[in-house]
Amino acid sequence: MVHIMQVERFYEQDHYTPSEDGFKVFDTPFGKVGIVICFDRHLPESIRTCTLKGAQLIIIPTANTLAEPLEMFKWELRVQAFQNNVFVAMCNRVGREDKMYFCGQSLIVSPDGDILFKANSSEQLITAELDLLLAAISRCKRPYITTRRNDGYYRK
């Protein structure tokens, strides 16, 4: 994790320290895969950074509860997949831990922002065949990444 959450029931700063070397993208036999962990997905720089490092797929392990705005999270991932021309696969836990109920509803989103699969709230294994070259095709159709103007963005 790069950004560490600290709110009621999620006292992550008590257990974790931020990554010192940022977001990672790995070369795999399937393509380039980035990892964005849980809370990091709420900051657009997380998925954008993985995309700029060449990710075609970003995997997000997370722990969303029933008390959170699940519809908003779904849109958040759809918009980021669309804006970054990248596949996003979010896997969420299910069940109960103390007073927290985890909602499941893992999902896979295409580079066009379409939900390709959405799980229900039960424990299940999702498998999907993704053509990661579609991320490159999407980037050609909507070249958001290559038309960025870094000189116009905020800098300290």
115: in domain? yes
Q: What is the pLDDT of residue 68?
A: 78
Tally of structural domains, the chain: 1
Q: Could you tell me the residue range of the domain that residue 104 belongs to?
A: 6-152
Alpha carbon distance, N-terminus to C-terminus of the chain: 23
- In angstroms, the CA 1 to CA 23 distance is 8
Q: Measured between alpha carbons, how far is residue 18 from residues 29, 34, 58, 71 in Å? A: 29, 17, 19, 28
Q: Kindly report the CATH number assigned to the domain that includes residue 37.
A: 3.60.110.10
pLDDT tens-digit series, residues 128-148: 999 999 999 999 999 998 888
Its pTM stands at 0.87
Checking if the pLDDT of 80 tops 60, the result is yes
Checking if the pLDDT of 22 tops 70, the result is yes
1: in domain? no
Provide the strand spans (E) within the chain: 6-7, 10-11, 24-28, 31-35, 57-62, 87-92, 94-97, 100-103, 107-109, 115-118
- In angstroms, the CA 126 to CA 124 distance is 6
141: in domain? yes
